[in-house]
Structure 1
Amino acid sequence: MSEQQLFKVTIDNITIEVPAGTTILQAARQVGGDVAPPAMCYYTPLEGSGGKCRTCLVEVSKGSEKDPRPMPKLVASCRTTVMDGMEVKNITSPRVKDARAGVVEFLLLNHPLDCPVCDQAGECHLQDLGYQHGSEGTRYEFKRRTFTKHSLGNYIQLHMTRCILCYRCVFTADQVTGKRVHGVLDRGDHAEIATYIEKSLDNDFIGNVIDVCPVGALTDKTFRFKNRVWFTKPVDAHCNCTKCSGKVTLWQRGNEVLRVTARKDEWGEIKKTEDGKTGWICNECRFERKNINDWVIEGPTKVSRQSVISANHYETLDKPQDTLVEVMGGRQPKMLMDIHSISDVNQPGVHLSELPGPATGKTFNKNNQQ
């Protein structure tokens, strides 16, 4: 059996060897850090994804050893394979920085700036992209594109106005569920994700479209308006599920499980399991198992320090020592005020994880509970 051919490629003055057929984006991710271009539509587990958002554009200053001529235009790194001796510029190219800023501005033309009320805030790839590569203001003076809301069932909420048409959810429904009832309708400025005729997305694995969506277009109805992601604590857990791998991330607030998602890597893509398969999870694990007793906790999830989720997030289980008792000579501190008796929010009898929908003012209105 012949050895696999390796190509040398230099990305931002860093040279590595990768197998033939590797894309520039995959090679850059092996280097890591800022060398790896951002990607809004490319998703490694989804075959055929990429080439739509243009955020991963790079400059090829040298085609190969045999043909050292530079490529005249910027290329999409997710769809361009490396050649032996290729030299690529990403963050070291002013052309790339200028083009990426233009792509971000284009993506934000019709995207609503409703981050304060969007459930994706804090883990939105477009939000990160805007902060890293966008400008401070916008030159757009016209009315933004809007769409009417479509019902996609009891678990998934579609906000088409936030969609950037990355097609990830379409590929997921095609390749993971095998039963796709939604897709892209119309063309141009009228293109939208919809089911044409109002249908529910009720396949056992359709909940994975929430995980692959890079923006807040597809969100979890069981988690909507219940908490902010940076107030929750992600922990790795597993269960004995007959449908999927059962390896998930639990997003907890105290002892309550507010949300369940698949485990993701540093690029925001679903991790592979020990047998090499993509760790898609079923709807039962995602939406139905919200009791902490349903899971075996493995430990805190590793969170990037650059993420807002890392705020007050500890990866060790060592609790800080309480010195208040020692200061008071062994006496236990007394609660000066029972906040539950006067607060309409901190009611011990209300469990957010058990609410079928969003937590609204009616939930905490004492008059309605009587």
Structure 2
Amino acid sequence: MSETPMFKVTIDNITVEVPAGTTILNAARMIGGEVAPPAMCYYSKLEGSGGKCRTCLVEVSKGSEKDPRPMPKLVASCRTTVMDGMEVKNITSPKVLDARAGVVEFLLLNHPLDCPVCDQAGECHLQDLSYDHGKEGTRYEFQRRTFKKHDIGPYIQLHMTRCILCYRCVYTADQLTAKREHGVLDRGDHSEIATLIEKSLENDFIGNVIDVCPVGALTDKTFRFKNRVWFLKPMDAHRDCPTCSGKVTLWNRGDEVFRVTARKDQWGEVESLEDGKPAWICNTCRFDKKKSSDWVIEGPRAISRQSVISANHYAGKVGSVKPTEIFEAVHDGRHPKIMMDIHAASEVNKPGIELSLINGPAHSTDFTGEE
């Protein structure tokens, strides 16, 4: 077998060598940082995804060494493969930045301002996209579109008004389940994600559509309105599951597990296992195992410091390190001792009174020896 040839491609003045057949988007992800274009519909673990949202548009200023002519229009980086000697502009191209701002404006035309009540707030890719690449205001003056509500089962909540038709959930159900029950109905402005005859989505792996949804269109009913993600602390955990990998992220507040999700990488995609397969999780792990005793806790999840989830929590896995007792460290291991009985020294408090048991607010007579 002949080896796959390697191509050199330059993206935002940074050169990287990648195998032939690699898309511009994946080549940019190898470089990382802001060089990687945003993607709302592309998902590397889902075959056939990409090419729908147009947020990953880039400018190809040089086609290849053999044909150095630039491409006449902006191209979708998730669908365009690299050529040897290709030069690409992402954040260094004013045309790309202007086009991306226009795409974000189109995505937000009918999107409701649900962020204050949406369970996806804080980890929504559309929030990040609009903050990084959108404009300050909107020029849209018409009524936003609305849809009939569909009940798709006891575990998944569908908000079609928030959907951007990225098709990720359709590909997930198509490729992970034996029989897909939902899809895109109607055409044009009437297109919607729904089931044809009001069926419930009840496959063992159908909960993964929640993880792949980049917005708040598909959310976890068992987590609905229970808490905000920035109040929770994500912990890596695992269990011996006969159905799936059993490797998850628990979202805790204290000892209480509020929700369970698959582990995600820096691009918001489900992580891969040691064998390269995606670490999808089953419905049992996601919806039924909501106790800390059900899991083997590995430690805090490393969260990007750019994420609101990491605010006031920890950097990396520092949260798993117990702080040193300062008093013992500076006093040769001696423990602190109470030097005197404050009640006997002050002669003002009644030592027999517990303020938590007082019926009503405390008054001065409760603190002094006066009757």
Please say whether Structure 1 and Structure 2 have the same fold, judged by a TM-score greater than 0.5: yes
Measure the CA separation in 2 of the matches of 1:183 and 1:260: 25
Q: Matches of 2:268 and 2:125 in 1, distance apart?
A: 8
SS at match of 2:16: strand
TM alignment of 1:242-281, pairs within 5 A: 242-281=242-281
Which residue identity lines up with residue 263 of structure 1 in the other structure? R
Q: Any residues of structure 2 matched to 1:222-301 within 5 Å, and which?
A: 222-301=222-301
- Opposite residue 268 of structure 2, the aligned amino acid is G
Cα 1:168–1:337 shift into 2, 3 Å: farther
Q: 3-state SS of the aligned residue for 1:116?
A: coil
Alpha-carbon deviations, 1:107-156, whole Å to 9, x = none? 00000011010000000000000000011110000000111211011100
Equivalences for residues 61-80 of structure 1 within 5 A = 61-80=61-80
The match for 1:319 among 318, 322, 332 is: 322
- Secondary structure at the aligned position of 1:105 is classed as helix
Summarize the Cα distance change of 1:337–1:311 in structure 2 as closer, same or farther, 3 Å threshold.
farther
Q: After superposition, where does 1:204-219 map in structure 2 within 5 Å? A: 204-219=204-219
Look up the equivalent residue of 2:322 and give its one-letter code: K
Cα drift, residue 322 of structure 1 = 6.8
Task: Report the AA paired with residue 123 of structure 2.
Answer: E
- How far apart, in 1, do the equivalents of 2:126 and 2:3 lie? 41
| Secondary structure of the structure 2 residue equivalent to 1:151 | coil
For 1:337 and 1:61, locate their aligned partners in 2 and report how far apart those are by CA, in whole Å.
Answer: 75
Q: Residue 93 of structure 2 aligns with which residue?
A: 93
The aligned amino acid for 1:101 is A
Post-superposition offset of 1:236: 0.5
Query: Would the alpha carbon gap of residues 313 and 181 (structure 1) be closer, same or farther in structure 2, given more than 3 Å must change?
Result: same
1:63-113, CA deviations, whole angstroms, 9 ceiling, x for partnerless residues? 001100000000000000000000000000000000000000000000001
Equivalent residue for 2:345?
none
- SS of the aligned residue for 1:200 comes to coil
Q: Secondary structure at the match of 2:223?
A: coil
SS in 2 for 1:118: coil
Q: In the alignment, is residue 5 of structure 1 matched against residue 8 of structure 2?
A: no
Per-residue deviation, residues 156-211 of structure 1 (Å, max 9, x unmatched)? 00000000000000000000112101000000110000002111100000000000
Cα deviations by residue, 1:269-294 (Å, 9 ceiling, x for unpaired): 00001121110000000000001000
Q: In 2, distance between residues paired with 1:136 and 1:156?
A: 32
Render the CA deviation track for 1:207-259: whole Å, top value 9, x for unaligned: 00000000000000000100000100001000000000000000000001100
Q: How many residues align?
A: 336
- Tell me how far apart the structure 1 counterparts of residues 149 and 233 of structure 2 sit (CA, whole Å): 31
Alignment of 1:126-165 (within 5 A): 126-165=126-165
- How many Å separate the matches in 2 of 1:21 and 1:48? 15
From the superposition, tell whether residues 90 and 337 of structure 1 become closer, same or farther in structure 2 (CA, over 3 Å): farther
TM-score by length of 1: 0.88
Amino acid at match of 2:308: V
Q: Which residue of 2 aligns with 1:346?
A: none
- The structure with more radius of gyration: 2
Which sections of structure 1, spanning at least 5 residues, go unmatched? 343-370
Which string of whole-angstrom CA distances, capped at 9 and with x for unpartnered residues, describes residues 328-369 of structure 1? x6459xxx986xx99xxxxxxxxxxxxxxxxxxxxxxxxxxx
Residues 10/198 of structure 1: CA separation in 2 closer, same or farther (3 Å cut): same
1:118–1:84 Cα change, 3 Å: same
Instruction: Please state if 1:31 is matched with 2:34.
Output: no
Counterpart-to-counterpart distance in 1, 2:266 and 2:18: 20
Which amino acid in 2 is paired with 1:301? R
SS class of match (1:222): helix
Q: Secondary structure at the match of 2:116?
A: helix
Deviation of 1:321 (Å): 5.3
Q: Distance in 2 between matches of 1:228 and 1:330?
A: 41
How many Å separate the matches in 2 of 1:46 and 1:147? 27
- Secondary structure (helix, strand or coil) at the match of 1:115 reads coil
Separation (CA, whole Å) in 1 of partners of 2:355 and 2:284: 41
Rounded to whole Å, the distance in 1 between the matches of 2:323 and 2:142 is 54
Whichever residue aligns with residue 142 of structure 2, its letter is F
Deviation at 1:312, TM superposition (A): 2.1
How high is the TM-score relative to the length of structure 2? 0.87
Tell me how far apart the structure 1 counterparts of residues 51 and 298 of structure 2 sit (CA, whole Å): 37
CA distance in 2 between counterparts of 1:323 and 1:254 reads 25
C-alpha spacing 1:337/1:263, structure 2 compared with 1 (3 Å): farther
Mapped to 1, the partners of 2:169 and 2:132 lie a distance apart of 25
Equivalent positions of 1:163-202 (< 5 A) are: 163-202=163-202
